[in-house]
Chain A
Amino acid sequence: MTLLQKSPGAVRSKTGFWPNNRATIIGVSILTLVVIILPFTATSTMMNIAVFSMIFALPAIGLSLLMGLAGQVSLGQAAFFAIGAYTHAILLQKFEMPGVVAAVGGVVAAMLAALLVGLPMLRLRGHYLALATLGLGFIVMIAVREWEFTGRTTGIYGFGRPEVFGIPIDNNGLFFWYVAPFVIVGLVLALNLTRSRAGRALSSVNDSELAAESLGVNTYALRVKVFTLSAGLAGLGGVFYAYQVQIVSPQMAEFNVSVELLLMVVLGGLGSVWGAIAGAFIVELLSEGLRDLIPAIIPGATGEVQLIGYGLVLILVILLLPGGLYQAVRTVWAAIRRRTAARRVAAAALVPDGTADAGAGDAPTRAFGGVPGEPAAPHGAAAVDEEGVPNVPGVSTPLAEGEAILEVRGLTKRYGGVVAVDDVSFTVPAGRIMGLIGPNGAGKTTCFNMITGAITPTSGTVTFLGEEVQGRKPHVGAVRGLTRTFQNLQVFSSTDVVGNVYMGRYREGRAGIIRGMLGLQGREQYRNEEIARDLLDTMRLGDVAELAAGDLPFGRQRMMEVCRALASEPALLLLDEPMAGLSGKEREMLASLLRALRDAGLTIVLVEHDVAQVLALADTVAVLDDGVLIAYGEPEAVRNDPAVIVAYLGTDADEAKHELEELEEHA
């Protein structure tokens, strides 16, 4: 049955799924060591650059998270930087608050400003956040320049450097040690976040927003949180900046500071946290170098001459090395590893590999879902089932068989003058399979999309488990147990197969951004990963768990989507043309899987083109024609309904009947 056999055997290696923790520990240790040693060895110019790169690394990490996770960019990161600095300076200078309180105030102020901009802007996709933040940069600059309270063009000055344990932080070396722990902690938190439940959800959103939302991901809320977090880091950077230069002035919010921060992230590698720190150092070096170099080449050049380098490097990196330094390092590293691995294989050719077949025997026997009392699916059988039918994972249903799980009332969708779906009403009983069929353009998919929340109905209600979900985003229904698959596959291509199915577990997870950053969700994540792997084994996809999802053949991608949807333990599973593009054998397999799932208690609605399949599979069938529900009932009744025959196969009822019978024989 397998097209892609992974050799040797299905070893459960964690390295593909979780980023390498050991590498992180080594990296952080090296960084810490460098930070400790640097002040003893560096020249004063170098030390100055180092301090500023540490300060700018904080907003850069924030921007990197925003770009990598939320897929959005802030062109006004300097505005948050300045807001943090100004608030801090004002609290210190005018209100004589203790340093810690002032610093926290600075960070909070930056986060509040981000909420103010982010709440409206992040609802919209596209360029809005970028240009709004660009505008915010101007606003902040104008505001502090025009306001007496913020000292107008002179800014605020005259506050001292902080003291730590009675030691005044009065030179660059000490200041470097003062900032560095914050950067290192920020780095670790940010790395944790990218791997957390929230981080993985956000990168899935970048692959397919609709699929992620159909699994319960509240995209908007997560984006707002990441944006606020990113502004908080910028604010923290601003606080340190204020201490270092001991004056805050309107120039801090200037556009070239934002460009500088953006360049750090782009150069380091979009979305790479390590890259942001490396980028901060390189850009600070570049800036210093250009400021010396350009006036030497072009006499009389003054002002922000380093911008020419910024512009050039930005363009060149995007054109030539879109992944930045991170990508470059990874490519080189992979080449080195390939070479050493090849050498090792050659050396070990005669020694049998003891770990190769450990996987199958070690497979956990816990039931899918891990809910006590749920029937356990037999796992050992997965590999030896002769009929090629996957084993059925356990399903839970909140209702008794036959009770209404989904009610559609008067559902209507108009596009301008065209009525795509007209006043459609039906009820889906729990524990049954309902088929939604109809000729091309009958409004099946529109209807389906209105039920799942992908589009908003013009009128009518969709009630799922007693709650109206029409017009809400897909995640609203999804968190209540309504999930779907897609006719045009929506695979999370940036992760592997198990990563896709793991995302199906999103609904079952609880860890938010803060727990994610603190790394306090390991147990939950490992449990969900195990469940995802068990499910893959059950569905006979265990052998491809580590492959990139986009590399699977079409039929197995479809099975993976079904698997991903099942992983969320839905009460109602909606399948959009699940048979399309599958081979005959795959269709049979899917049909028996669906039957088995139904028998286990799952409610299924499928939109399907293949009439014969639906009539053979479904317990109830709804037929749409031209947006109108023309028949609804048991397959036998629908099959003989004259209206259906006419709608489907033209006006000649006899011929139609004949063709239907033929179709049936094929089924």
Chain B
Amino acid sequence: MVRPTILAAVAAALLLVIGVACGGTSQEQTAPAAQSQPEQPQTQPQEQQQAPAAEQATAADPPTAVPTVIATATPSPTNTPTAAQETTALGGTLRIATIPPVQQLTGSWLGTTTSANTQVRPFTDPLVHTDRFDGSLVPGLATSWKANEDGTQWTFFLRDDVDFHGEWGPFTAHDVPTSAALIIREDAIATDTGLFRGLFGDTEEELLTNIVALDDNTVQFNLKTPNSLMDFFAGAQQGNLFVYSKNQYETDGIEQLQENPAGVGPWVFESRTIDVNVKYTRNDDHYRRAPFFQAMEYVLIPEETTRLAQLQTSAVQIGEVSRELHLDAQSSGLAVLQSELPSIQVAFIIGGIYNPEEAGPCLTEEFQNCFYQPDEPHLNPMVREAINRSINRQEINEQLFGGIGRQHTVWGYHPALPGYNPRWTEEFDEKYGFDPEKARQLLQESGYEGYKLKLLLTELPGVPEMIPMGEAAFTYLSNVGIDVETEAIKWSDYRAKYYRPGKTHGTIAATRGTYRPADITLRFYNRSGGAGFWRTSVDPMTDILYDTATQSVDPEVKAQALSDLGDLKFDLYSEVPIVWLPAQIVVAPAAIGEMVWPGNINASFTHTEYITPAAQ
């Protein structure tokens, strides 16, 4: 593995005063040394589907299927789960190095859907499972489900052969209302808390009248307002509704439920040490897939270099490592695994295109007269176009993202999801293409030449490039004559000081979103009324279109409304879409055989039960 002489020399040098200067040369020598590792990542045929960088400019890679609306799904033969498949190769402990999540939880009601998916999903299941290849909704605890015509009543038909871990007995439909009620607890901070309160009521009593077990294997959700995505929220990649044992909750109370939660998942929760690790053991008897490994452990490590070193020393088999270190990882015999789904959308949000006080006309009407900051340059579409044209997306993609990015035309929309208009792909270069000359000219014409812009440098988990991207934008925007001032700011402070109180005028900030039906993303960005939401660009027209899309269970109506909404955003340059990215992680091919990873945000590990150890 190592060349002892060189390294000993390095070690000695480090002890000497000026030895530090040798750091550079020694690294260069060791990197090729590691390259002579025998195993090349041959074992992962699935993940290496990254297209050559040159092809990136065209449309995105469409997943074969999509989380769609109405589904009266019946299990397809391939998905028919046979209880407790016997496993061929059983590995030891699967160790995954990740950044310590802000929210370390066992209760799905205590954090974002991403946190819950990573930490809760190993030990318990949502009602609806997701396909690990294409992200589509497939039967899990629910074998099938249906919605009524106006989307106010959803019924899920459940399996009858599932047991909770430990002594907590069989899983029945009665566990579902109890689990849903957890999401609206007084102290709940789940992504879906607000949504569930809106759909089913603010109190546990009210919710329990709306979510009812019809019998042991049927549960019915009665919604106060129609919603076309209940099956998505009832599971999928991004829901908070995980199944907890009503029995345990009533016997042990909420503390014990958090301390030692029983679930129905492929792994059994064992223990956790805050900021150190989370441990699970194999559930030998899982209805869908008993894991190939005996145990699983998340090892929580804050520093990039430390996580990479853990992988290099085989202390962990899978790790979240920033893209900048992927070449180093590969040259030491590790493989970079790409998610099956597009996963992350990256954009800059132009601030000030809404009225926080009252939802007056904003994006569409005469922009000068209707805003709380009448001199806001960003209300002028020409300025927004100028910003869009000053950014060199191709350079960002190639230099910062190693060319893995795919075209992103409208914030919130992906070609594989309902509501996408192919026109955006065709016209993108013409309307959004990199053209500093045009940008300068547009600014001149609009009268905002050299206006003061505040560029907020901030970062969200999953895209460490957000800061360098912001710093690059500093150069791009300065180059077209905008007077840019930067402010480095933590996301939470950005939220507190800028968008929550509605003070984003005159700013621009990078953001990232996930891969999910457009209306879920747009609820937060383009719908007025949600005090506390970001509301990047809002007006009565977008509100109407959004409501139509969300409430309609007719796929065509929904798609049309979404498409119209997207047209508005596209033609009026409401945001600065940059790129769609797959999530990436680093795996040790020497230890991992097959791993298919749908991906969400980088560290959102799901479907870990399907990961196989390398053949010996």
The reply to whether chain A is a binding partner of chain B is no
